[in-house]
Each structure stands twice: as C-alpha cells, then as structure tokens.
C-alpha cells in the first residue's frame, strides 16, 4: 500500500562542497562566528548590558528576555515638559462621566519604602562573579536573606546603617579579602531602576505560578485550546508590565493568547512542497516562513526566521566554545538526544539582535526539523473560518476578561511563595482592579447633502440611516469599463443592473458600462485595459474569478502607475448571493465614487485652516526588503478630500527624508485648493513600534519643522504631532448595573492610566460585537497649537468618523487608516510610488 513519503522527494539542492554555515555556537547554537562575516548587525546604540540580578534571581537579569534589552515602554522620553499649555493639566472636561474599571492594579510598598543600591568592591580584586557572591554572602547576617546582586551592584530592601561598610572574607585558598559595601543610591519607589526591578520580581512570580515564558509573555500550557483543522494550539496566558502611571505605580496585565502550531518547520516545508511547483518551492518557502517566529524543540527560546540557507544542512559543522568542530546532527543528538532524520533539509538563519550572556550577537543556525512554528501566517489570517474558530476562544467578553485578569491577581495574592517573596521586598499588590471616572464625549452628527443624521452609539454605524441619501459629491459614471471572464458574465451583468438600481438615490449619474469579456489570464486583462482605456475613462471595474494575488497585483500596478485611472476589482463570488447583493453593490458604488474623487459624508469641524496629516508604515516581512510609508493630508475644510503620497524605502533607509518631501507637496496642493496655507497642521503618526518614540521625537519632528521653515520665512504654522497606537494592553470596562460592558464609543480617558511624562489620552471610538473593545492610545509628542486637550480629543474622535470605506466609527482617525490602506496597497501590490495624477483621490481604498 502506497503511503505518503516521509520526506519530500529529494532535491533540496544538489550537495555542494560544504562551506560550513557562517555560524554559531553553544548550547543553543549561537555565539561567535567563524571568520569574517558581513551580516549587518542590529541597530547600534543599544543599551549597555543590564544588571545581572542574583540571589534567587539568577536566571533573570535586567537584560533578560522581556526585560529592557529594548526600551519597550519608551521610559525616559519626556515630551510633556516641552508642551507649555499642558504643564498644569492635560485633562479634558467635556462629555458625561462614566465609571470605569481598567486592567490595572496598584503596586504598593511600605511607607518610606526605598530600595538601597550599593556598590561592592573587593580588595584584592576578585574576577569571578560567583566567587564575588560567595564571598559577600558569607556575611548573610549583615546583608539579610533578601538581596539582589550582580557581582558589583547590590540591592537591599534595608539600609545597612553606614555609608560604607567593610567586611572581611576568606577564600578557599585562605586568602583574606576586604569587601567594601558603599551605599550609592537610595532609590525611591518611582525610580526607573526600581521599575525594572519590580518587573523582574514580577516575572519571577509568574514563573513560580508555573507559567511558561514565550517571548515577552507568560502562558499556561496545561489547559490548551486545540484547533486540529489547522494544527493550532492556543495557550491562554498573560501580558504584564509594571510602570509609573499618572498617580501611582501599577501593574497592567491583560489576557493574552499564544498561537502555537504542532508542526515543525520541516513538516510545513513538506506540505508546501506538494502545493507548489518545484521551481517555485524555494520562493514559496521564503515567502511563507521568513518573518515567522519559531520555537525550538530543545529549549524554550524563540527566534525570528530571517533567511533560509539552502546550501546549509544539518551535517554542516560549527565550532564549539572549546574549539572543537561538531556537526549539527551530532550536536543535537549528543546534547539533547534530538534525532535529525532529514539530513538534507536546509537550515534557517536568525539574526540575533541582542547579546546573550557572553556571546556576541550574530546569525544563529536553526534546524527546521527542530523548530515549531508559532503565530498565524498571512494565509491563516485571511482564512475567515479559521479566524472565526479562533475568535471563539480568544475574544473574551468584558465580564470574562475581567474575571481572567482577576484570577492572576488572586493567584498572586494567594500563593505563599509569591507572597513571601513580595513581603521580603516590602511590596504588595492591591486586591482590586483600578476604578476611576472617564468621560463619554458628545456624539457626532453625520452631515450628508444638507441632512443631519444621528446614529445608534451602540453600533457606531450609520449605513442604514444614510441609505438613499444623496452623497455630498457624486462623480458620474459616464464612461467606464466593466471587464469580466465568460464564466463571470452573469456576475458582471448583475453588478451592472444593481448599480443602476442603487446609484440614482446617491445622486450618481450612470451610463451603461463598456462591457468587455476577457480570457482568465493576467495578460488578457492587461491587454484589454491597454486597448480600452481612453482619457475619458472614469473607472475600470474588473470582475475576477478568484483572489489570485498576481492578477490583482498586475491590474493595480498598471492602473496606479503606467496608466493612472481609478480601478475597482470585485471577486465574482461576492456578487453571487442574492440576499446580500444589494448591500454589496451599495458598498461598491460608494467605494467607486470615492476612488473617482467623490465625497460621501462629513462631520462638523469647527477648527479652521487646519491640515490633518496621517502617516502609517507597511513593512514587507516577506522579502525583508522594503518599507512603505503612506502619507495622506486633508485638502479642504470639511476633510472630505485627501491628498496622498507614499515613500518606498529600501532596508536601512530612514523614512524621514521621504516624509519631508511628502509634506512639501501636500502643502503645495493645499495651497492650490485653498489659495492659502494652513495655519495649523496636525499629524497623526501611526506605525510607531515600541521603543521608537525617541527616534520620532529627535529626528522626525525636527524634520517636519525644517520642512515648514523651508516653505517661507514668514510661514509659521502651529504643528501638532500625535503618535497613534492601536496595540495597547489597556482595557476598560464600564460598570453598568452591576455587570461589566464595553465602554461606549466616544469614551475618553486621560487620567490614572496615562503617563505623567506624556501628554497622552485614550479614546474608545469604535464598537465591537464580540469580545473587548481595544482603546486607541494617543500621545501628543509635539504641540504648539495651544489647543485645549478637550479640543484635541474631540478633533481626534471626529476624524474617526471620516473613513469612507466604512459607514461607522473606526479605531483610528481616518487619515491613519487611509495612510494604512495606501501603504498596504503599494507594499503588497505596486512596490513603487503610484502616479501623482491620482494623488487627490482615494484610489487606494
């Protein structure tokens, strides 16, 4: 009986004279490289190696994973101090009060608590860290049982009494050593060092609770959710961080789910091998795997796949710390008893960006067979059914989420070991989640052609309310193309007929389309477009039979660059269901209108002469090559028209230069439209990673200012730069008749959970059907507008109503979402800057 081959048939690559992989070492295959290597090292200016905390914290150091190897929390970036008008207060006042709970919990310390930091010196000098600790802790009666020591810095919860304490110890050799313990610092509970320290203690507590660390978070492996259809396992767990917030030091903890896959990278490659043609196999592997995080079988480490070395294989050798050469097969067999069965598999390369212990950062070689995949691939994310399956498990409604969070706090409060550890340091956690008062700002009215609409705040959606109302500006469909394959003739015809039904009430004048049948090949589509598009063509609509990306990409590329006209692609199947056909056609009609420069609705914007800018980035994880920044700027007072440009950058280039050029052109276009320059500019900057705030403040903002200066001597607009962050762990729960609910759209929080050194606030703008709503964090890092916080918050919330692809409120201001769409289209399909002739239309929707 025929069974599946256990290995992908041959041909990883014919064996070549081996060049050993340019890698790596000990015990996890990382370390010094052999010979010179040209791999670019991570960004420089990394923090110096942190403190190694000992005494019960041996396995943790301040540079520990999830620690502060990178400043994830942007500590020490104090932007509020430079913004004059929020020195006194950064809180708004409008709206109605609402009682909220957040997933925060106060960390409390004894009154007058301090952490005492000592420097420990040895005479004669002792080299080995372990010897230094051993000698020091001969004096436990003096130091006490609770301590943290890294070999030279000692932390104690108590004061030794003297500035300098001298003690003597004797080594095994009978040598007497003088130890000088000098008090160097008395750290208040809020000092940055203390914060790092709390986080270390907290991670230690999570370990005590038998949670597994993966990446930055901790998970409970004993109760996994299994999704066999996709070989997925979901582990419930927690994210946590302890930081100084507005009023107090708090633990922010949220439920997190880790998606793991019970297949190895090699399994995955085998499967892929069956799905693609031989010659596309390597590309397909690279596309699917590069950028993914893998988890090694033999230890608890995660790595990012940066490359696949097809010339490498498990039989390649590397040099161990002791200088001996060993092959990967032998090494893993000997060290971990791991059998590698496929000796011809390629190897994965991960560029380590940080130093681990004494080992230098550098490429790490990983064996596919010994690596598990984690997380979802793009393909899985697009799998609607699977995401639905997952959502059932991962989308917790407010009540349940709060209960899970409460459980962690309970664990901590009930576990004896954990309590002892905390008690020894004089720390404890509040038993209740943080409660405070937020505000729900006034609901916006939707304005459309003289009519004013209210919408139901529960859904934050007005598609029903505005149906059948003329648009603010309807663009006619006088001359347009409808392209389809023979098989999709019916679908195309249905679309046409339905468009005839829905457009009149919108005020769109429409002629019958030029109907063109094509063969279902990319070249056929392109040829037809070339032949049929005239200068009068309003838009080209293509009915596609599948979501094959290559066809879509080719069409978009051609119509965004070489032959710049708006285009609309529709998948035939979308149109096939009678019950949804009209709703879908309405959406298509609206989208087509926007792409041609039409306007749908607006909200009242009292602020005059203001240009709003949105920026977002797209990083090509597949090829690791380019980044795209999308840039959009409003062109009119009602913010219904948007200018757009984008910057396509190779690896390692800074985006700022490109952004400068974008801002310049945006101002020029604004001037063309309005005959004056804006007196205020508000930039919403999305796509800023954790720890990048400093770069933004120090490089990007000055570039914007430079750019404005270059416009003219006497041009001095007020500039506001706001960093928009969607991925935050903060969650708010509204107390409503004893039950917990999502806070309603328009909820603004600018107290308690904000940071004292920032001018920041949270807004819940959208409504969700399932699970918990995620607030968006806004951090005003530069502001000469002198606008009151209230006005800044209101403007931001208003802009969340202005995204034309969704007749409802969205999570971020519309310019951010537009910038995102643009960057995504260019990054995914076009790969170069689209033609500027399209720049005043929303062609990228």
Partner 1 sequence: MDKNFQEEQFTGIIKFTPPLYKQRYQFVKDLVGKYKPKKVADLGCADCTLLWMLKFCSCIEVLAGLDICASVMKEKMHRLSPLPADYLQPAERSLTVTLHHGSVAHKDTCMLGFDLVTCIELIEHLEESELKLFPEVVFGFMAPSIVVISTPNSEFNPLLPGVTLFRDLDHKFEWNRVQFQSWSLETARRYDYSVEFTGVGHPPTGMENVGFCTQIGVFVRKYPQTSASVQSEKPTEAVYKMVFKAVYPSLKDENYLRNAVVSEVIFTAQIIKQSLLDRFMSEHEYNDDPTERKSEFQPSMNCFSEDLGKLVVEKSMEPFINGNVVYVPLKTIFSFPKVNRLCGTFEKLCKLIAGKVTLSSDGSALMFNSEHENE
Measure the N-to-C terminal CA separation of the chain; round to a whole number of Å.
53
Q: Which of 448, 591, 793, 839 binds partner 1 (CB under 8 A)?
A: 591
CB contact set of 773 (below 8 Å; sequence gap of 6+): 731, 732, 742, 743, 764, 766, 767
Binding to partner 1 (CB under 8 A) within 166-185 occurs at: 172-174
Measured from the CB atom, the residue of 10 and 228 that comes closer to partner 1 is 228
**Which span sits near partner 1 by CB under 8 A: 341-349, 510-518, 587-595, 830-838?**
587-595
Measured from the CB atom, the residue of 272 and 677 that comes closer to partner 1 is 272
Do 581 and 575 form a contact (C-beta atoms < 8 A)? yes
Binding to partner 1 (CB under 8 A) within 485-544 occurs at: 544
Q: Which of 32, 239, 317, 335 binds partner 1 (CB under 8 A)?
A: 335
Measure CA 218 to chain center: 19
What's the closest the beta carbon of residue 411 comes to partner 1, in angstroms?
16
Name the residues annotated as catalytic: 616, 654, 686, 820
Q: Using CA atoms, how far apart are residues 281 and 308, in angstroms rounded to an integer?
A: 12
**Which span sits near partner 1 by CB under 8 A: 17-25, 269-277, 448-456, 776-784?**
269-277
823: left (phi over 0), alpha (psi -120 to 50) or beta: alpha
Q: Binding of partner 1 at residue 790 (CB under 8 A)?
A: no
Tokens of 523: 């070249």
Q: Binding of partner 1 at residue 385 (CB under 8 A)?
A: yes
Measured from the CB atom, the residue of 675 and 769 that comes closer to partner 1 is 769
CB atoms within 10 A of CB 531: 9
What's the closest the beta carbon of residue 601 comes to partner 1, in angstroms?
16
Measured from the CB atom, the residue of 319 and 439 that comes closer to partner 1 is 319
Measured from the CB atom, the residue of 215 and 406 that comes closer to partner 1 is 215
Q: Which of 298, 436, 453, 824 binds partner 1 (CB under 8 A)?
A: 298
Q: Using CA atoms, how far apart are residues 126 and 129, in angstroms rounded to an integer?
A: 8
**Which span sits near partner 1 by CB under 8 A: 151-159, 293-301, 428-436, 771-779?**
293-301
Q: Which of 100, 154, 260, 838 binds partner 1 (CB under 8 A)?
A: 260
CB contact set of 1 (below 8 Å; sequence gap of 6+): none
> Which contacts (CB < 8 Å, 24+ apart) does range 197-200 have?
197/53, 197/115, 197/148, 197/155, 198/107, 198/242, 198/249, 198/427, 199/67, 199/68, 199/241, 199/242, 200/53, 200/57, 200/60, 200/61, 200/62, 200/64, 200/67, 200/148
CB contact set of 396 (below 8 Å; sequence gap of 6+): 255, 404, 771, 772
What's the closest the beta carbon of residue 334 comes to partner 1, in angstroms?
9
CB contact set of 786 (below 8 Å; sequence gap of 6+): 84, 85, 718
Q: Binding of partner 1 at residue 601 (CB under 8 A)?
A: no
Q: Which of 7, 94, 262, 315 binds partner 1 (CB under 8 A)?
A: 262
Measured from the CB atom, the residue of 584 and 711 that comes closer to partner 1 is 584
Binding to partner 1 (CB under 8 A) within 349-378 occurs at: 372
Do 823 and 617 form a contact (C-beta atoms < 8 A)? yes
Specify which residues 72 forms β-bridges with: none
CB contact set of 806 (below 8 Å; sequence gap of 6+): none
Site pattern 37..66 for partner 1 (x: CB under 8 A): -------------------x-xx-------
What's the closest the beta carbon of residue 708 comes to partner 1, in angstroms?
34
Site pattern 200..239 for partner 1 (x: CB under 8 A): -------x--x-x-x----x-x--x-x-xxxx-x-x----
What's the closest the beta carbon of residue 776 comes to partner 1, in angstroms?
17
Do 426 and 418 form a contact (C-beta atoms < 8 A)? no
Q: Binding of partner 1 at residue 380 (CB under 8 A)?
A: yes
Size of the site for partner 1 (CB under 8 A): 76
What's the closest the beta carbon of residue 803 comes to partner 1, in angstroms?
9
Do 351 and 242 form a contact (C-beta atoms < 8 A)? no
Task: Tell me the three state secondary structure of residue 344.
Answer: coil
CB contact set of 728 (below 8 Å; sequence gap of 6+): 762, 774, 775, 776, 777
What's the closest the beta carbon of residue 138 comes to partner 1, in angstroms?
10
Measured from the CB atom, the residue of 120 and 214 that comes closer to partner 1 is 214
Q: Binding of partner 1 at residue 261 (CB under 8 A)?
A: yes
Angle at 717 between CA 673 and CA 635, to 5 degrees: 25
What's the closest the beta carbon of residue 695 comes to partner 1, in angstroms?
31
Q: Which of 573, 625, 651, 709 binds partner 1 (CB under 8 A)?
A: 573
Measured from the CB atom, the residue of 82 and 380 that comes closer to partner 1 is 380
- 8-state DSSP, 104: E
Of the candidates 722, 725, 744, 745, which has an alpha carbon nearest to the alpha carbon of residue 735? 744
What's the closest the beta carbon of residue 574 comes to partner 1, in angstroms?
5
Binding to partner 1 (CB under 8 A) within 533-552 occurs at: 544-549, 552
Q: Binding of partner 1 at residue 632 (CB under 8 A)?
A: no
Q: Which of 135, 154, 201, 295 binds partner 1 (CB under 8 A)?
A: 295
Q: Which of 473, 554, 571, 603 binds partner 1 (CB under 8 A)?
A: 571
CB contact set of 733 (below 8 Å; sequence gap of 6+): 100, 101, 102, 398, 401, 402, 740, 741, 742, 743, 772
**Which span sits near partner 1 by CB under 8 A: 237-245, 268-276, 427-435, 477-485?**
268-276
For residue 775, give Cα distances in angstroms to 236, 245, 694.
Answer: 21, 17, 23
Q: Which of 313, 469, 568, 754 binds partner 1 (CB under 8 A)?
A: 568
- 8-state DSSP, 696: I
Measured from the CB atom, the residue of 372 and 797 that comes closer to partner 1 is 372
What is the H or E stretch that residue 513 is in?
none
Of the candidates 232, 207, 208, 212, which has an alpha carbon nearest to the alpha carbon of residue 222? 212
Q: Which of 108, 134, 705, 736 binds partner 1 (CB under 8 A)?
A: 134
Site pattern 86..105 for partner 1 (x: CB under 8 A): --------------------
Number of H helices, E strands in the chain: 19, 38
């Amino acid at each position: 009986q025929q069974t599946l081959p256990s290995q992908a048939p041959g041909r990883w690559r014919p064996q070549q004279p081996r060049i050993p992989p340019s890698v790596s070492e000990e015990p996890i295959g990382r370390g010094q490289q052999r010979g010179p290597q040209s791999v670019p090292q991570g960004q420089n200016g990394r923090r110096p190696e942190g403190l190694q905390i000992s005494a019960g914290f041996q396995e943790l150091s301040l540079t520990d994973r999830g620690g502060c190897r990178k400043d994830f929390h942007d500590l020490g970036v104090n932007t509020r101090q430079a913004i004059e008008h929020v020195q006194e207060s950064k809180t708004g006042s409008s709206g109605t009060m609402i009682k909220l709970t957040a997933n925060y919990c106060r960390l409390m310390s004894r009154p007058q608590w301090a952490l005492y930091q000592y420097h420990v010196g040895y005479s004669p000098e002792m080299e080995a860290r372990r010897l230094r600790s051993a000698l020091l802790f001969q004096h436990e009666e003096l130091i006490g049982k609770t301590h943290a020591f890294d070999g030279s810095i000692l932390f104690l919860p108590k004061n030794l009494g003297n500035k300098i304490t001298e003690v003597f110890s004797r080594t095994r050799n009978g040598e007497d050593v003088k130890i000088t313990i000098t008090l160097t610092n008395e750290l208040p509970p809020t000092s940055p060092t203390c914060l790092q320290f709390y986080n270390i203690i907290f991670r230690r507590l999570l370990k005590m609770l038998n949670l597994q660390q993966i990446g930055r978070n901790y998970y409970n492996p004993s109760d996994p959710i299994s999704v066999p259809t996709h070989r997925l396992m979901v582990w419930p767990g927690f994210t946590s961080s302890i930081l100084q917030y507005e009023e107090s030091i708090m633990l922010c903890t949220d439920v997190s789910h880790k998606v793991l896959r019970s297949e190895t990278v090699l399994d995955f490659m085998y499967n892929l091998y069956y799905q693609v043609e031989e010659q596309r196999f390597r590309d397909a592997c690279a596309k699917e795997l590069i950028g993914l995080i893998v988890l090694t079988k033999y230890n608890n480490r995660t790595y990012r796949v940066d490359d696949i070395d097809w010339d490498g294989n498990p039989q390649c050798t590397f040099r161990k710390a002791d200088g001996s050469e060993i092959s990967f097969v032998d090494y893993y067999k000997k060290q971990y008893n791991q059998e590698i069965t496929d000796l011809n598999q390629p190897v994965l390369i991960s560029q380590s960006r940080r130093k681990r212990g004494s080992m230098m950062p550098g490429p790490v070689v990983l064996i596919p067979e010994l690596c598990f995949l984690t997380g979802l691939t793009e393909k899985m994310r697009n799998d609607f059914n699977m995401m639905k399956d997952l959502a059932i498990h991962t989308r917790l409604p407010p009540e349940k989420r709060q209960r899970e969070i409460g459980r962690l706090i309970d664990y901590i409060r009930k576990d004896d070991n954990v309590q002892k550890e905390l008690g020894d340091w004089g720390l404890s956690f509040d038993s209740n989640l943080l409660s405070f008062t937020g505000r729900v700002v006034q609901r916006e009215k939707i304005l459309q052609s003289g009519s004013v609409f209210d919408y139901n705040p529960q859904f934050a959606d007005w598609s029903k309310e505005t149906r059948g109302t003329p648009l603010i500006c309807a663009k006619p469909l006088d001359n347009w193309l409808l392209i389809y394959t023979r098989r999709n003739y019916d679908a195309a015809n249905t679309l046409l007929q339905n468009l005839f039904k829905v457009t009149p009430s919108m005020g769109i004048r429409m002629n019958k389309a030029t109907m063109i049948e094509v063969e279902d090949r990319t070249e056929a589509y392109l040829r037809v477009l070339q032949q049929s598009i005239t200068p009068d063509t309003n838009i080209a609509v293509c009915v596609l039979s599948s979501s094959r990306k290559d066809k879509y990409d080719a069409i978009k590329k051609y119509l965004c660059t070489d032959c710049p006209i708006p285009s609309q692609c529709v998948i035939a199947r979308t149109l096939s269901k009678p019950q949804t056909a009209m709703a879908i056609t309405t959406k298509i009609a609206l989208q087509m209108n926007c792409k041609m420069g039409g306007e749908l609705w607006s909200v009242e914007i009292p602020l005059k002469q203001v240009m709003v800018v949105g920026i977002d980035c797209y990083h090509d994880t597949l090829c690791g090559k380019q980044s795209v920044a999308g840039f959009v700027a409003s062109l009119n007072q009602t913010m219904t028209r948007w200018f757009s440009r984008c910057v396509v950058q190779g690896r390692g280039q800074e985006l700022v230069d490109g952004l400068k050029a974008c801002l310049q052109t945006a101002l020029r276009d604004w001037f063309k439209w309005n005959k004056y320059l804006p007196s205020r500019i508000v930039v919403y900057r999305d796509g800023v990673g954790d720890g990048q705030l400093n770069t933004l403040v120090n490089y990007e903002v000055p570039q914007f200012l430079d750019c404005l200066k270059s416009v003219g001597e006497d041009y001095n607009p007020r500039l506001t730069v706001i960093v928009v962050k969607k991925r935050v762990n903060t969650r708010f729960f509204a107390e409503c008749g004893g039950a917990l609910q999502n806070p309603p759209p328009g909820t603004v929080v600018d107290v308690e959970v904000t940071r004292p050194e920032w001018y920041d606030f949270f807004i819940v703008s959208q409504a969700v059907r399932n699970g918990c709503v995620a607030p968006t964090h806004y951090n005003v890092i530069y502001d000469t507008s002198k606008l009151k916080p209230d006005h800044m918050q209101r403007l931001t919330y208003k802009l969340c109503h202005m995204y034309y692809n969704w007749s409802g409120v969205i999570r971020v201001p519309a310019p951010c979402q537009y910038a995102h769409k643009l960057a995504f289209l260019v990054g995914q399909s076009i790969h170069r800057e689209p033609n500027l002739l399209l720049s005043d239309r929303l062609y990228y929707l």
